[in-house]
């Protein structure tokens, strides 16, 4: 071994046998490590190659190495939805499923009911895709975004909060909040065009807070809601990240993305949800004490207590069943978002389409006039059951403009779809917007025709042809709630007013971020019905 002395002269030392052993040992470790790394890389490379070979058999557009098809969707965010659905339209003419590359990640889009059924009906493919991880800073891993055993236990825990008995108790809130909305609209019912979207959104926000959270936040009295603005902005930011692979690493997002704006939105959103939990916790404890003081505890009167959503979570946390404040917060954020934005969009789309089709609106007016003796009569379960045409209009609006225009799962094991082997780890996306326009299931698909939902027509269709609430074990937990709310809010507007839509179908611009909305709001003219 050669070393230098203080003056830089080379000196040859004799290695002791111990030193030689140490050197040999460290070389051995290095060689073993490098060999292991090479084997692991070769193994990874081989497996990836196998997957790519399988994926490449599925029809789809040509893709660049590493970037895949990402550049094709690197467009103005306002154009993204049209680009995605435009591409899917062309491919849906020749194949029920299509392959694209989201950067280095394969993504399979499904457009036909037979292939959608394979995924949605399965008990195996329940995990959400990596696109949902960009929602984690906001929604944590609440019911919408969680996977595996956490999702199972939360779903089981929260299902009783949507029991029909509880939904019936919510009728009072649906009625009172919709009355408030209709009163606010009275000032606008002068035949002048205005955007009705915010009126409906604030009403659905009030509804979800008062029903599920037990807190009246009076959003309708504060038309300039920071919460709603933050929801819209964060949805746009999340979608940008999903579409652009170079913004997906947290580090790069901090360096070149809009992370400051994202964090500012989070501050507003979490501020509202924590505030809601605090208010309800205080009320909930007061109510419990009062009940005890009056010996009104439900167990004493021999009835099992049914708790609405947030009370159920608070009860669980007080019983020490492993629900932290953070756990409650993520569910509250999930339900506040899923529970108001989806329904607001659906009511707006129904009103928009009825405003484009005066002849169908006249039939709805007729139905409502038959059911209600006065425009102010509160809606009960009996009237809800009778609103058949109104319900079919809502269903048809959800077909043409599903509030959730696509959803995605990540395969935990290989799936065979339309004879193609799709390997584990692949993202599979149901393009609901395209599925609902399949001419084999919905002839003349762009036509608004609520009679498609008459029982005799429904029975002719494939059960997975229409899935606005998703389907199977991971379907929407709030779908009954949503339909009740939509029928009450929409009918409360139409009992008092006639609506005319100011935007023609051919001029519509769609914004499909997390929720499908008209880009420029829903401009209508309202006229009082006399
Ligand atoms: C028109 C109204 C609504 C539509 C169209 C709708 C649609 C959907 C869809 C398509 C999914 C599946 C999403 C996915 O797999 O990524 C879903 C899930 C969910 N929805 Fe809704 N939804 C509506 C209203 C509501 C309401 C009112 C609530 C709550 C009160 C709600 C709560 C949820 C939750 C928590 C999930 C996740 C369920 C799970 O993964 O177990 N939704 N919804």
Interval between CA 452 and ligand 1 midpoint (Å)? 23
DSSP-based three-state secondary structure for 78? helix
Number of other residues whose CB lies within 10 A of the CB of residue 260 = 8
Q: Which residues line ligand 1 (CB under 6 A)?
A: 143-144, 155, 212, 334-335, 338-339, 342-343, 346, 398, 403-404, 407, 468-470, 474, 476-478, 481-482
Question: Atom of ligand 1 at shortest distance to CA of 486?
Answer: 1
CA-proximal residue: ligand 1, atom 16 (nearest): 407
Q: Which residues contact 26 (CB under 8 A, 6 or more apart)?
A: none
CA of 327 to the centre of ligand 1 (A): 19
Assess contact for 163 and 306: CB atoms under 8 A.
yes
What number does the ligand 1 atom closest to the CA of 346 have? 1
Confidence at residue 347, expressed as pLDDT on a 0 to 100 scale: 98
Amino acid 7: pLDDT: 65
- Determine whether the annotation assigns residue 476 to a binding site: yes
- 420 pairs with which residues across the strands? 417
Give CA–CA dist 138/301, Å, rounded.
41
Q: Separation of 478 CA from ligand 1 center, angstroms?
A: 6
What integer pLDDT is reported at residue 302 of this predicted model? 45
**Exposure of 467 by Cβ count < 10 A (0-12 exposed, 13-18 middle, 19+ buried)?**
buried
- Report DSSP letters for 187-235, one per residue: TT-SS--EE-HHHHHHHHHHHHHHHTS-----GGG-SS-HHHHHHHHHH
Residue 398 Cα to ligand 1 midpoint, Å, equals 13
Instruction: Give the H or E element holding residue 420.
Output: strand 420-422
CA atoms of 106 and 415, how far apart (whole Å): 14
Report the nearest atom of ligand 1 relative to the CA of 155: 41
Distance (Å, whole) CA 427 – CA 288? 46
Distance CA 439, CA 80 (A): 24
Q: How many C-beta atoms lie closer than 10 Å to residue 301's C-beta?
A: 9
Task: Please name the helix (run of DSSP H) or strand (run of DSSP E) that holds residue 151, with its range, or none.
Answer: helix 148-158
Q: Tell the residue nearest (CA) to atom 41 of ligand 1.
A: 474
Helix, strand, or coil (residue 497) = strand
H-run or E-run covering 409: strand 407-410
Closest CA to 280 of 339, 207, 212, 201: 212
* Cα 135 to middle of ligand 1, angstroms: 15
Give the integer Cα–Cα distance in Å for 437 and 400: 7
CA 475 – ligand 1 centroid, Å? 7
Residue 11 has a pLDDT of: 60
Cα–Cα distances in Å, from 20 out to 4, 25, 26, 40, 324? 19, 8, 10, 30, 57
Q: What's the gap between Cα 113 and its chain centre?
A: 20
How many C-beta atoms surround the C-beta of residue 419 within 10 A?
6
What is the structure's pLDDT at 490? 98
Task: For strands 497-501 and 427-430, give the pairing.
Answer: unpaired
| Residue among 510, 503, 507 nearest 524 (CA) | 503
| Pocket mutation for ligand 1, best pick of 130, 136, 156, 342 (most atoms within 8 Å of C-beta) | 342
Q: Which ligand 1 atom is the nearest neighbour of the CA of 407?
A: 16
* Per-residue pLDDT at 457: 97
Is residue 30 exposed (0-12), middle (13-18) or buried (19+ Cβ within 10 Å)?
exposed
Mean pLDDT of each 10-residue bin along the chain, 530 residues long? 62 69 82 89 86 92 88 81 88 94 91 96 94 93 94 93 90 96 96 96 94 89 86 88 87 92 95 91 86 61 66 87 88 93 97 98 98 93 97 98 96 95 95 96 98 97 98 96 98 97 95 91 94
CA dist., res. 431 & res. 109, Å (int): 6
> Which ligand 1 atom is nearest residue 409's CA?
15
Residue nearest to atom 8 of ligand 1 (CA): 469
Q: How far apart are the C-alpha atoms of 197 and 10, rounded to whole Å? A: 84
What phi and psi, each to the nearest 5 degrees, are found at residue 13?
Answer: -100, 150
User: Could you tell me if 506 and 172 are in contact, meaning their C-beta atoms sit under 8 angstroms apart?
Assistant: no
**CA 477 to centroid of ligand 1, rounded, Å:** 6
Ligand 1 pocket: which of 159, 343, 473, 478 to mutate (most atoms <8 Å of CB)? 478
Q: Which residues contact 261 (CB under 8 A, 6 or more apart)?
A: 233, 237
Contact 111, 98 (CB under 8 A): yes
């Amino acid at each position: 071994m050669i070393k230098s002395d203080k003056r830089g002269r080379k000196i040859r030392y004799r290695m002791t046998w111990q030193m030689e052993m140490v050197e040999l040992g460290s070389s051995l470790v290095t060689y073993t490590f490098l060999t292991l790394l090479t084997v692991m890389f070769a193994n990874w490379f081989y497996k990836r190659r196998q997957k790519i070979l399988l994926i490449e058999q599925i029809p789809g557009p040509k893709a660049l190495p590493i970037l895949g098809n990402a550049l094709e969707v690197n467009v103005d965010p306002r154009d993204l939805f049209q680009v995605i659905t435009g591409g899917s339209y062309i491919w849906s003419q020749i194949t029920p499923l299509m392959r694209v590359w989201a950067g280095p990640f394969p993504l399979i889009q499904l457009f036909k009911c037979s292939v959608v059924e394979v995924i949605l009906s399965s008990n195996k493919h329940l995990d959400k895709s990596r696109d949902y991880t960009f929602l984690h800073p906001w929604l944590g891993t609440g019911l919408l975004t969680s996977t595996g055993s956490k999702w199972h236990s939360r779903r089981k825990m929260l299902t009783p909060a949507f029991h029909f008995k509880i939904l019936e108790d919510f009728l009072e809130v649906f009625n009172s909040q919709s009355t408030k909305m209709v009163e606010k609209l009275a000032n606008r019912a002068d035949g002048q065009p205005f955007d009705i979207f915010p009126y409906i959104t604030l009403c659905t926000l009030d509804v979800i807070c008062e029903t599920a959270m037990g807190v009246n936040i009076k959003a309708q009295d504060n038309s300039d809601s920071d919460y709603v603005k933050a929801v819209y902005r964060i949805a746009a930011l999340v979608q940008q990240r999903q579409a652009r692979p170079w913004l997906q690493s947290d580090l790069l997002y901090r360096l070149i993305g809009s992370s400051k704006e994202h964090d500012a939105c989070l501050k507003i959103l979490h501020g509202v949800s924590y505030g809601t939990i605090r208010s309800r916790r205080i009320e909930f404890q007061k109510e419990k004490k009062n009940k005890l003081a009056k010996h009104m505890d439900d167990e004493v009167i021999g009835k099992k207590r049914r708790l609405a959503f947030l009370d159920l979570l608070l009860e669980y946390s007080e019983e020490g069943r492993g629900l932290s404040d953070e756990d409650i917060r993520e569910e509250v954020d999930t339900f506040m978002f899923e529970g108001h934005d989806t329904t607001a969009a659906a009511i707006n789309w129904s009103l928009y389409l009825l405003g484009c089709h005066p002849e169908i609106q006249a039939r709805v007016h007729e139905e409502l006039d038959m059911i209600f003796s006065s425009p102010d009569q509160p809606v009960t379960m009996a009237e809800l059951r009778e609103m058949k045409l109104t319900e079919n209009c809502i269903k048809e609006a959800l077909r043409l403009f599903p509030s959730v225009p696509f959803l995605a799962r990540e395969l935990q094991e290989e799936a065979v779809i339309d004879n193609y082997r799709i390997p584990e780890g692949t993202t599979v996306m149901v393009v609901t917007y395209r599925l609902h326009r399949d001419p084999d299931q919905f002839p003349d698909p762009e036509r608004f025709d609520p009679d498609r939902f008459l029982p005799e027509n429904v029975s002719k269709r494939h059960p997975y042809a229409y899935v606005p609430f998703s389907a199977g074990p991971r379907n929407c937990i709030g779908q009954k709630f949503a339909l009740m709310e939509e029928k009450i809010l929409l009918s409360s507007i139409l009992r008092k007013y006639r609506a005319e839509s100011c935007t023609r179908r051919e001029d519509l611009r769609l914004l499909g971020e997390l929720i499908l909305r008209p880009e420029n709001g829903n401009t209508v003219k309202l006229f009082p019905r006399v």
